[in-house]
């Protein structure tokens, strides 16, 4: 199937490369595993290939569908039904494809000493001019500290320090109905993936995070640590992640009502920094201390190491990193968390 009636040599070459990629990574099989099933007309694989080719040929979907010079090309309604179907599991498709790429292409290039990590990124998906988008809400923008019309997008990805591969994502509305401008479409079939995603969008971000993590680990993704910023670094969230069988390395925020147990006392982060002994001089690592986050369901305390690091942009201030892997050195904690920082800067 061609995007145009008489493809040029460069378009034929592009199509050949795309065909090779789609065949090599068994895209047709992955689509079927993700519930992409069409009863008549163009197959889901043909429609996916049509849209996939548009991205690499720099063609606009709307303008391409308006042309009527190719009877073999799918119609506008066919393409929009494909993109808007509530039955197709796009998240599962992305996860299966990404896992295959990691296992076949990236892991063979990495040494055994290379630390693989999962990275959670929370970014704003602004829809400032929208009014009728389903589940549109006032969401908090961590960067500006203001509420913005749109969604929050949680993205969970895998990295070896050189390459970042997105695994799964979730668009979050608001768990508070007062912050939502538009409610969910009541005609969505409750048995479909689309209905489940809409329900998920109204969860708290900590619960949505756990669902993404569970799906990635169940798919066989191999990683030693989950890295994330201070927006999720609550002791209860950290303990829930540890119970999934993966260690945490995260940035901490000095919140007055979040406490850590140290020498039998409950201290917030600022109080903890004041209580520990600091290194002399202009050391980059100011202090390191082991604390208790709390008790899990089986009443086993979960310990963590907190490292206080000098803020290189503001030398009189400090930053705090936490890890649940007590075997890591201070330098390793900073180095591994740097994998998340590199991704955050590049994104």
What's the rounded Cα separation, in Å, for the pair 233 and 219?
25
Q: Give the start-to-end residue ranges of the domains of the chain.
A: 9-84, 110-223, 229-347
pLDDT in tens, 116-161: 999 999 999 999 999 999 999 999 888 788 899 999 999 999 999 8
pTM of this structure:
0.88
Of the ranges 13-17, 228-232, 248-252, 278-282, which one carries the lowest mean pLDDT score?
A: 278-282
Q: What is the pLDDT of residue 297?
A: 54
pLDDT number for residue 343 = 43
For the chain, give the mean pLDDT. 89
Least confident residue range of 25-39, 189-203, 278-292, 330-344: 330-344
Q: What is the pLDDT of residues 264-279, one digit of tens each?
A: 999 999 999 999 988 8
Q: How confident is the model at residue 345 (pLDDT cuts 50, 70, 90)?
A: very low
Residue 192, pLDDT > 90, answer yes
For 315, half-sphere exposure in the C-beta direction (CA atoms, 13 angstrom radius) is 3
Distances (CA, A) of 52 to 47, 97, 121, 222, 328: 8, 14, 25, 28, 43
Per-residue DSSP letter, 115: P
Distance CA 143, CA 155 (A): 17
Q: Judge whether 287 and 279 are in contact, CB under 8 Å.
A: yes
**Residue 171 token pair:** 């668009």
Look at residue 346 in the predicted model and tell me its pLDDT.
38
CA distance 225 to 241: 10
Distance separating alpha carbons of residues 53 and 19, to the nearest angstrom:
10
pLDDT > 70 in the chain, percent: 92
The first and second tokens of residue 294, run together, are 């709390």
- pLDDT tens-digit profile of 61-87? 878 877 755 667 888 889 999 999 999
Predicted pLDDT at 6: 56
In the prediction, which pLDDT does 12 show? Answer: 86
Long-range contacts of 82-85 (CB under 8 A, 24+ apart): 82/38, 82/44, 82/47, 82/48, 82/51, 83/51, 85/194
What mean pLDDT is predicted for residues 18-35?
Answer: 95
According to the model, what pLDDT value does residue 171 have? 94
Which of 183, 129, 120, 178 lies closest to 152, judged by CA? 120
Length of the chain: 347
């Amino acid at each position: 199937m061609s995007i145009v009636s008489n493809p040029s040599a460069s378009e034929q070459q592009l199509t050949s490369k795309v065909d090779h990629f789609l065949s090599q990574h068994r895209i047709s099989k992955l689509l079927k595993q993700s519930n992409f099933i069409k009863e008549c007309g163009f197959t889901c694989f043909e429609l996916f290939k049509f849209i996939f080719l548009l991205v690499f040929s720099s063609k606009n979907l709307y303008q391409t569908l308006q042309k009527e010079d190719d009877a073999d090309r799918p119609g506008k309604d066919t393409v929009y039904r494909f993109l808007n179907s509530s039955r197709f599991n796009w998240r599962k498709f992305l996860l299966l494809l990404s896992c295959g790429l990691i296992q076949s292409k990236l892991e063979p290039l990495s040494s055994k000493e290379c630390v693989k990590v999962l990275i959670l990124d929370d970014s704003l998906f602004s829809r400032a001019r929208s009014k009728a988008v389903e589940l549109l809400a006032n969401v908090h923008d961590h960067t500006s500290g203001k509420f913005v019309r749109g969604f929050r997008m949680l993205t969970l990805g895998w990295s070896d320090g050189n390459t970042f591969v997105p695994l799964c994502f979730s668009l979050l509305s608001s768990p508070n109905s007062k912050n939502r401008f538009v409610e969910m479409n009541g005609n969505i079939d409750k048995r479909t993936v689309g209905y489940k995603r809409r329900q998920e969008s109204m969860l708290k971000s900590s619960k949505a995070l756990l669902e993404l993590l569970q799906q990635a680990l169940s798919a066989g993704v191999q990683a030693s640590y989950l890295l994330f910023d201070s927006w999720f670094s609550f002791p209860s969230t950290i303990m829930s992640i540890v119970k999934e069988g993966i260690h945490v390395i995260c940035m901490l925020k000095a919140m007055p009502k979040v406490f850590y147990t140290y020498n039998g006392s409950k201290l917030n982060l600022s109080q903890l920094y004041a209580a520990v002994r600091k290194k002399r001089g202009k050391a980059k690592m100011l202090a390191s201390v082991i604390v208790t986050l709390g008790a899990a369901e089986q009443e086993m305390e979960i310990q963590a190491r907190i490292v206080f690091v000098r803020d290189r942009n503001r030398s009189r201030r400090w930053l705090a990193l936490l890890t649940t892997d007590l075997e890591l050195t201070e330098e390793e904690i900073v180095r591994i968390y740097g994998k998340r920082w590199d991704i955050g800067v590049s994104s």
